[in-house]
């Protein structure tokens, strides 16, 4: 039984239809991330699961029950938003207790759960403060704590970290991951536009663009075998290199050709049969290129070097366009130096130039 099952769901905002029959099964204990740029429909999908908006067709099942027409509070979910949505006049303890009090939970039980959640989130020393006496990171911990005390089987997060500065975001991201591991069977659905958050947190990522699912897969699948050009470009930093070219047939098998650059594709795992002459885009991640003595593509020169501490990005060109290579930060690299690039065909992706789909 799935923890959450979205069945053939369409949401309509008057004439504007979103998702058009989206189905998604989320397993118990799974950490699912909905990833995509602004406006792609992440919050809409999350709100449909939560019951904060009505679906116009299809069903939502949670914990084996059809909850399509149930109120949010009856769905067995807990939600955390980007804007912490805390009650300003209540203390942290009151904020965390409020929902349980409304549900007429016995006082001792409320105290026990608040205590436990506060310990877990390391906010026990803040229980008597008001939200305006807390930092952003502390407020978000309280918001998570308020969700935690509800003992829900499913947690829904809508960009919970995007109001925080970079350092705090990294810290809290790890905390959320730890929390998920500790809670064991709790299912989490997490919305973000940050591909690093998605890659680090998710068991599976759902990549969305313009209210359509582009790919569903583990972070590894999404990263190594992106289903189309959009997914390939959205995930990964620095970005995947895209090189336009065509497929040529030869005695030993198909070959990718782009000006002077050639790459034999005998070892490439095609998902559809390539046509000789087909226009394609080759995708290579910067860390999958090697700076070699003798390699696949000679005749490059270093343009610009971007040191990033542990890593370094080298921009190089061969007169046909610029390519980024990611290498060790300790390497010596001087603009103007000639170099040859080694390309491992086992690490590249090929897309149809026409449709953008992986081939």
Ligand X SMILES: Nc1ncnc2c1ncn2[C@@H]1O[C@H](COP(=O)(O)OP(=O)(O)OP(=O)(O)O)[C@@H](O)[C@H]1O
The residues binding ligand X (CB under 6 A) are 13, 16, 18, 36, 38-44, 193, 211
Please, which residue, 43 or 215, has the CB nearer to Mg ion? 43
CB of 150 to Mg ion, least distance (A): 22
Please, which residue, 43 or 241, has the CB nearer to ligand X? 43
CB of 107 to Mg ion, least distance (A): 37
List the Cα angle 328/331/336 in 5-degree steps.
120
Please, which residue, 43 or 241, has the CB nearer to Mg ion? 43
What single DSSP character describes residue 347? G
Under 8 Å CB-to-CB from 351, ≥6 apart: which residues? 228, 229, 232, 280, 281, 283, 357, 358, 359
Burial of 203 (0-12, 13-18, 19+ CB in 10 A): middle
In the list ligand X, Mg ion, none, the entry touching 252 (Cβ below 5 to 8 angstroms by class) is: none
In the list Mg ion, ligand X, none, the entry touching 147 (Cβ below 5 to 8 angstroms by class) is: none
What single DSSP character describes residue 135? -
In the list ligand X, Mg ion, none, the entry touching 350 (Cβ below 5 to 8 angstroms by class) is: none
Which tokens belong to 318? Answer: 């061969």
Smallest CA-to-CA distance from 150 within 207, 96, 195, 86 is with 96
Burial of 34 (0-12, 13-18, 19+ CB in 10 A): buried
Distance from CA of residue 357 to its chain's centroid?
20
List the Cα angle 52/53/58 in 5-degree steps.
125
Q: Can you tell me which residue has the tokens 């008001």? A: 130
Please, which residue, 212 or 224, has the CB nearer to ligand X? 212
What string marks each residue from 67 to 106 as x (binds Mg ion by CB under 5 A) or -? ----------------------------------------
d(CA 11, CA 18): 5
Please, which residue, 31 or 157, has the CB nearer to Mg ion? 157
What single DSSP character describes residue 38? T
Contact (CB, 8 A) for 176 and 182: no
Please, which residue, 41 or 236, has the CB nearer to Mg ion? 41
In the list Mg ion, ligand X, none, the entry touching 18 (Cβ below 5 to 8 angstroms by class) is: ligand X
Applying CB under 5 A, the span of 35-43, 128-136, 211-219, 293-301 interacting with Mg ion comes to: 35-43
CB of 46 to ligand X, least distance (A): 8
Q: Can you tell me which residue has the tokens 């663009």? A: 209
Instruction: Return the number of other C-beta atoms located less than 10 Å from residue 298's C-beta.
Output: 14
Q: Quick one: which H or E segment has residue 84? A: none
CB of 350 to Mg ion, least distance (A): 33
CB of 43 to ligand X, least distance (A): 3
SS3 category, 189? strand
Please, which residue, 13 or 270, has the CB nearer to ligand X? 13
CB of 145 to ligand X, least distance (A): 24
Q: Identify residues 41-70 at the interface with Mg ion (CB under 5 A).
A: 43
Please, which residue, 68 or 192, has the CB nearer to Mg ion? 192
In the list ligand X, Mg ion, none, the entry touching 314 (Cβ below 5 to 8 angstroms by class) is: none
Residues contacting Mg ion: total by CB under 5 A: 1
Applying CB under 5 A, the span of 37-45, 117-125, 257-265, 331-339 interacting with Mg ion comes to: 37-45
Closest residue to bound Mg ion by CB: 43
Please, which residue, 42 or 326, has the CB nearer to ligand X? 42
CB of 4 to ligand X, least distance (A): 17
d(CA 273, CA 328): 37
d(CA 113, CA 101): 12
Give the interface with Mg ion as residue ranges (CB under 5 A): 43
């Amino acid at each position: 039984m799935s923890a959450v099952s979205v069945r053939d769901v369409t949401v309509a905002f008057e004439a504007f239809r979103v998702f058009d029959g989206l189905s998604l099964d989320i397993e118990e204990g799974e950490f699912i991330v909905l990833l995509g740029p602004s406006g792609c429909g992440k919050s809409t999908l999350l709100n449909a699961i939560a019951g904060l908006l009505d679906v116009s067709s299809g069903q939502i099942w949670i914990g084996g029950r059809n909850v399509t027409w149930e109120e949010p509070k009856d769905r067995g979910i807990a939600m955390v938003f980007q804007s912490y949505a805390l009650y300003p006049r209540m203390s942290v303890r009151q904020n965390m207790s409020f929902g349980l009090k409304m549900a007429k939970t016995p006082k001792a039980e409320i105290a026990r759960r608040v205590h436990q959640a506060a310990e877990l989130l390391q906010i026990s020393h803040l229980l008597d403060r008001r939200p305006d006496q807390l930092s952003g990171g502390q407020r978000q911990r309280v918001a998570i704590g308020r969700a935690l005390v509800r003992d829900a089987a499913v947690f829904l997060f809508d960009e919970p970290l995007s109001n925080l500065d970079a350092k705090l975001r990294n810290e809290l991201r790890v905390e959320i991951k730890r929390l998920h591991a500790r809670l064991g069977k709790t299912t989490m659905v997490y919305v973000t536009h940050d591909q690093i958050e998605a890659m680090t947190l998710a068991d599976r990522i759902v990549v969305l663009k313009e209210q359509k699912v582009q790919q569903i897969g583990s972070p590894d699948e999404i990263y190594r075998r992106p289903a189309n050009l959009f997914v390939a470009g959205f995930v990964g930093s620095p970005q995947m290199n895209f090189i336009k070219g065509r497929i040529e047939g030869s005695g030993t098998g198909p070959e990718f050709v782009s000006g002077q650059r050639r790459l034999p594709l005998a070892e490439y795992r095609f998902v559809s049969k390539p046509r000789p002459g087909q226009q394609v885009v080759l995708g290579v991640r910067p860390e999958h290129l090697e700076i070699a003595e003798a390699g696949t593509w000679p005749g490059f020169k270093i343009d610009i070097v971007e040191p990033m501490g542990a890593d370094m990005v080298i921009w190089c060109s061969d007169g046909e366009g610029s390519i980024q290579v990611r290498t060790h930060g300790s390497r010596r690299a001087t603009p103007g130096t000639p170099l040859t690039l080694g390309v491992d065909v086992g690490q590249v992706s090929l897309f149809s130039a026409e449709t953008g789909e992986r081939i």
